[in-house]
Amino acid sequence: MHKVLIIVGDATETLDTMYPYYRLQEGGYQPVVAAPEKRKYQMVLHEVKPGWTITKEWEGYTIDADIAFADVNPDDYLGIFFSGGRAPEYIRDDKDLIAMTKHFFEKNKPIASVCHGVEIPARADCVKGRRMATVPKCQFDLEICGGTFVNEPCVVDGNLVSGRTFHDHGHYFGEFMKLLDAARGK
Determine the pLDDT at residue 57.
Answer: 84
- pLDDT recorded at residue 181: 98
Show Cβ contacts of residue 25 under 8 Å, excluding neighbours closer than 6 positions.
Answer: 31
Average pLDDT across the chain, whole number:
96
- CATH for 118: 3.40.50.880
Mean pLDDT of 100-123: 98
Number of domains comprising the chain: 1
Q: At residue 49, does pLDDT exceed 90? A: no
Catalytic residue list? 116
* Whole-number Å distance between alpha carbons of 32 and 145: 28
Residue 23 has pLDDT above 80, yes or no: yes
Phi, psi of 68 (to 5 degrees): -85, 150
State which residues form the domain around 150: 3-183
| Burial label, 51 (beta-carbon count in 10 A; 0-12, 13-18, 19+) | exposed
DSSP state, 115? G
